[in-house]
């Protein structure tokens, strides 16, 4: 965990950007648990493994969003129109296509009878859908609040 945090902090040269990424990971964990509760399955080892994978995908998506904001000068300064343009542009296509293909690939496991796979697939699939939707609203808001308000410079955070 320490190596992951150090890698993200060094990649962005910012504790605030890294905090946004890891808060999104915790949020994805929550979305996975919500999906588990809605599916009615028992919490177990397979679910823990699924939630760990879900957190990894959510962290990756948030890294992509934060990096896209950093690449756009207006978004880096907190311009909401620029941030919305980044979110609705190619950045979202990559994230949404990953979410859709992952969910579609899990459908056969979701409808399988018994065993370990249906709880795993339902938790990961629906958790990923929820986490993706939430990340498109959550990440820009935190970025604007924490990064853009400080001038958008990584060395100041």
What token pair was written down for 33? 């648990």
Q: How far is CA 129 from the centre of its chain?
A: 10
Picking from 83, 82, 62, the residue whose alpha carbon sits closest to that of residue 18 is: 62
What CATH number does the domain located at 2-156 have?
1.20.1640.10
pTM assigned to the model: 0.86
Which carries the bigger pLDDT value, residue 123 or residue 156?
A: 123
3-state helix, strand, coil in the chain (%, to 5): 85, 0, 15
Percent of the chain with pLDDT over 90: 65
Confidence of residue 43 (pLDDT cuts 50, 70, 90): confident
């Amino acid at each position: 965990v320490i190596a992951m945090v150090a890698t993200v902090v060094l990649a962005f040269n910012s504790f605030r950007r890294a905090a946004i990424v890891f808060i999104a990971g915790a949020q994805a964990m929550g979305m996975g648990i919500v999906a588990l509760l809605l599916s009615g399955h028992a919490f177990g080892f397979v679910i823990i493994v699924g939630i760990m994978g879900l957190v990894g995908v959510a962290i990756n998506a948030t890294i992509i969003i934060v990096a896209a904001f950093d690449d756009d000068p207006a978004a880096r300064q907190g311009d909401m129109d620029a941030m919305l343009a980044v979110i609705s542009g190619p950045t979202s296509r990559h994230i949404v296509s990953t979410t859709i293909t992952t969910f579609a690939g899990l459908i056969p496991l979701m409808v399988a009878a018994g065993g370990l796979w249906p709880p795993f697939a339902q938790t990961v699939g629906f958790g990923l859908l929820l986490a993706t939707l939430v990340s498109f609203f959550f990440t820009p808001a935190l970025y604007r609040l924490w990064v853009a308000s400080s001038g958008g410079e990584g060395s100041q955070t």
